[in-house]
Amino acid sequence: MATTFKTITANDVTNTRTLLHEAIPLTGTIASGTYNDDNIKEFSHGMFQSVYDYPFLSSSANHIFDVTHGYSSESALSGASSVQNSKKINIYNQMASVLVGHDATGSIQRFDQDGNIAAGGAKLNEAFFLNFSRLLSKDEIKKDSFRMSFLTGGTPAARTDALTIGDFGASTSYLVNSPAGEYGILYTSSATPNANSGVGLLYYQAGVAVLTGSIFDGDMGPGVTSGSYNALATGSNINVVADSIRNRLVDIDFNNTVELNSTIYFCRANHNEFNYSANPTYLSSSQIRVKNTTSDNPVSYITTVGLYSSDNELLAVAKLSEPLKKDPNTELTIRVRLDY
């Protein structure tokens, strides 16, 4: 019986899972300077800034991360006299609610320095939040790949004291007690990781870095002529605080992860299959062009593989980069991978 289709059996299909990683290097100047802040989008509500890789009015601009700042209502910085006090508390609570969760009474838990929430301990009451776009973080940030450098000292005009922060050792020591997935503790490169040396938290699947404000010991500016992080956090609005951390950013590097689920179809053409063609040029007055006599082998050339449903609808198609010769002397297995 002549046929154009071949059934795919259970032995011809397999599923695989692959983790793909991309290196994401972000230079600090993209966040402050390269485009004269035309790539920094501020909103009328003033609760965060969005950083783009190109002036955001351009259709080719991509959103890369957001910057915001907040503190807990239990922070020493919280007070009626603080600028945008309620918004800073709201931001902190929103992020904590999503990333840390609630306790048994339904109260929002605060960010914990060592991640051991149940044990209490030091809390990160004041924090910067860097929320990375899914375009960059994809399915998750790869553990122990995140490095971020700041100039934490000096003045806005003369920044000093480079400090590299990273999730050192996180590939074997990440935490899983967050409702937002896995997270690691951010340490300074100069500190030996221990329970009390964390300066922030990195949520891998959520793509959020939480950074304590206390690492900045210099005059952060702008908007404050002199003074510490504390003065800025209480005396300026969120946009100005975000300006300050952008101004001190040197670079950010990490690898993202894409979880690729694939179905592989092995399309097997045996020696006695697919040797003829229904191509309109295959026949001349019904005679097969590639044969002179009946004893010549039929030949066909494969350029396309079509995957069909049982009702003959074409669901997926694969093209070979060059024609593949098929005759009774050859058997082929073409491996078609569909990624999801």
Partner 1 sequence: MAFLDNSGDIILDAVLTDTGRLRLAKGDGSFNITKFALGDDEINYELYDKNNASGSAYYDIEILQTPVLEAFTNNTSLLKSKLLSISRTNLLYLPEIRNNATEGIAPNTTNNIVSVAVDEATVTSLEVNSVLRAGIINGFELDQNNADTRRLLFDQGIVSNALGDTGKVALDADLVETQYIIEIDNRLGYLANPDGNPATASFVDDDNIASYFLSLTTNSEYFSDSTLTSSDVLAGPAGYRLRLLVGASTNLNSSTYLFTQLGSTSTIGSTNLFHIDTTIRVTGATTGFRVDIPIRFLKQQ
Binders of partner 1 in range 235-294 (CB under 8 A)? 265, 267, 269, 272-283, 285-294
Q: Does 134 participate in binding partner 1 (rule CB under 8 A)?
A: no
Alpha carbon distances (Å) from 275 to 2, 8, 91, 299, 334: 11, 19, 67, 5, 15
Q: Name the minimum Å distance from CB 331 to partner 1.
A: 13
Q: What is the C-alpha separation between 171 and 174, in angstroms, rounded?
A: 6
Q: What is the C-alpha separation between 174 and 172, in angstroms, rounded?
A: 6
Q: Name the minimum Å distance from CB 280 to partner 1.
A: 7
Q: Are 99 and 183 in contact (CB under 8 A)?
A: yes
Single out the residue of 57, 122, 158, 320 in contact with partner 1 (rule: CB under 8 A).
320
Q: Name the minimum Å distance from CB 330 to partner 1.
A: 13
Residue 294 DSSP one-character state: T
18: number of Cβ within 10 Å: 11
User: Mask: binding to partner 1, 5-34, rule CB under 8 A, as x and -?
Assistant: xxxx----x---------------------
Single out the residue of 298, 330, 331, 333 in contact with partner 1 (rule: CB under 8 A).
298
Single out the residue of 62, 162, 306, 333 in contact with partner 1 (rule: CB under 8 A).
306
CA angle in degrees (0–180, nearest 5) for 137-142-144:
130
Residue 99 dihedral angles phi and psi, to the nearest 5°: -95, -30
Q: Name the minimum Å distance from CB 263 to partner 1.
A: 8
Q: Are 49 and 128 in contact (CB under 8 A)?
A: no
CA angle in degrees (0–180, nearest 5) for 98-234-180:
10
Q: Does 176 participate in binding partner 1 (rule CB under 8 A)?
A: no
Please name the helix (run of DSSP H) or strand (run of DSSP E) that holds residue 250, with its range, or none: strand 249-269
Size of the site for partner 1 (CB under 8 A): 71
Single out the residue of 324, 330, 331, 333 in contact with partner 1 (rule: CB under 8 A).
324
Q: What is the C-alpha separation between 278 and 308, in angstroms, rounded?
A: 18
Q: Name the minimum Å distance from CB 140 to partner 1.
A: 24
Q: Name the minimum Å distance from CB 69 to partner 1.
A: 40
Shorter beta-carbon distance to partner 1: residue 81 or 309: 309
Q: Does 323 participate in binding partner 1 (rule CB under 8 A)?
A: yes
Q: Does 135 participate in binding partner 1 (rule CB under 8 A)?
A: no
Single out the residue of 108, 180, 250, 302 in contact with partner 1 (rule: CB under 8 A).
302
Footprint of partner 1 on 91-110 (CB under 8 A) = none
Q: What is the C-alpha separation between 48 and 91, in angstroms, rounded?
A: 9
Shorter beta-carbon distance to partner 1: residue 216 or 265: 265
Q: Name the minimum Å distance from CB 259 to partner 1.
A: 18
Shorter beta-carbon distance to partner 1: residue 192 or 285: 285
* CA torsion through residues 101, 106, 112, 116, sign: negative
Q: What is the C-alpha separation between 217 and 154, in angstroms, rounded?
A: 8
Q: Name the minimum Å distance from CB 266 to partner 1.
A: 10
Q: Does 338 participate in binding partner 1 (rule CB under 8 A)?
A: yes
Residue 328 dihedral angles phi and psi, to the nearest 5°: -65, -10
